[in-house]
């Protein structure tokens, strides 16, 4: 079995927990996911099975989320599971929130949360935090393609926002920064990933439904349907060559990264030039 699964990660589990559950069900060790989701978050988690794990880097990596911000308090983790560290009596309005959100569209710089799995000097940030050690965290550039206010509850001081962003964006940091800009503080009380590349929440399968090998197999998505590269067809002779890491003859007008298709299946990814087509990843 090899291919992708569009899994809906439940709240309370880590992304690694989801992979562990699937390993027990289908008895395949070679399983990976395309992007970590915090335990308190839920939603789309693309999972790669078998040799399809070699294709992770060729999947689209933009993300989209629906996040609920609670204004008036901050936590050390920037989410609902952390310890409260500050509180404010300041009230904000729908207009205030909409006005601030406009400033976050485009390329921005943000600092990852100290409670995150990002590594500094080979050690995860949350490990430093748990040990009470200070560490220099550098800002990073990310892109917010779209950010919209979906709803605002004046009484509860909560806002639900939609964020479409680049890989590596921390929505917890985004919520924290928005709260800072409003002068009242904020943390995420809920986070749902609604899209990861071409994988969407409305098509995701709940983990508890994937209870047997047969059910998992029925929900496998073939790589040819998700790898957004130009495709070229290869013949019987060429499949033997690329399976041994050998180059094949180029195609006129084809250059750059391409998907290799044999008998209707994506069997690999290659780099095409005017001189040759050289396989980079072969999955057979």
- Which amino acids are annotated catalytic? 38
Distance of alpha carbon 72 from alpha carbon 171, whole angstroms: 18
- What b/e string do you get for 163-189 counting C-beta neighbours within 10 Å, with b at 16 or more? bbbeeebbbbbbbbbbbebbebbbbbb
Distance of alpha carbon 196 from alpha carbon 212, whole angstroms: 25
Torsion of CA 184, 187, 193, 196, to 10 degrees: 80
Torsion of CA 8, 14, 20, 23, to 10 degrees: 20
* Alpha-carbon distance values, 197 to 91, 139, 165, 226, 227 (Å): 36, 24, 10, 9, 10
Contact in structure between 126 and 117 (CB atoms under 8 Å): yes
| 151: DSSP letter | E
How far apart are the two ends of the chain, measured CA to CA in Å? 12
Contact in structure between 118 and 159 (CB atoms under 8 Å): no
């Amino acid at each position: 079995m090899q291919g992708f699964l569009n899994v809906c990660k439940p709240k309370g589990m880590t992304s690694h927990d989801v992979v562990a559950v699937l390993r027990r069900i289908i008895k395949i060790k070679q399983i990976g996911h395309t992007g970590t989701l915090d335990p308190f978050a839920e939603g789309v988690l693309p999972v790669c099975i078998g040799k399809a794990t070699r294709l992770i880097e060729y999947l689209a990596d933009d993300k989209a989320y629906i996040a609920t911000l609670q204004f008036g308090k901050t936590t050390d983790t920037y989410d609902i599971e952390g310890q409260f560290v500050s509180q404010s009596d300041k009230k904000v309005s729908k207009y205030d929130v909409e006005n601030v959100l406009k400033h976050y569209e485009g390329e921005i710089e943000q600092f990852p949360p100290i409670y995150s799995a990002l590594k500094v000097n080979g050690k995860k940030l949350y490990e430093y935090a748990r040990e009470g050690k200070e560490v220099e965290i550098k800002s990073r550039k990310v892109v917010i393609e779209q950010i919209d206010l979906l709803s605002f509850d004046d009484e509860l001081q909560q806002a639900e926002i939609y964020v479409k962003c680049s890989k590596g964006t921390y929505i917890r940091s985004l919520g924290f920064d928005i709260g800072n800009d409003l002068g009242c503080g904020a943390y995420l009380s809920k986070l749902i990933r609604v899209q990861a590349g071409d994988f969407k929440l409305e098509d995701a399968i709940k983990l508890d439904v994937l209870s047997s090998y047969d059910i998992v197999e029925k929900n496998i998505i073939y790589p040819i349907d998700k790898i957004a590269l130009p495709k070229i067809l290869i013949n019987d002779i060429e499949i033997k060559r690329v399976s041994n890491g050998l180059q094949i003859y180029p195609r006129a007008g084809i250059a750059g990264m391409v998907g290799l298709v044999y008998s209707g299946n994506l069997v690999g990814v290659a780099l095409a030039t005017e001189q040759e087509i050289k396989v980079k990843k072969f999955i057979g």
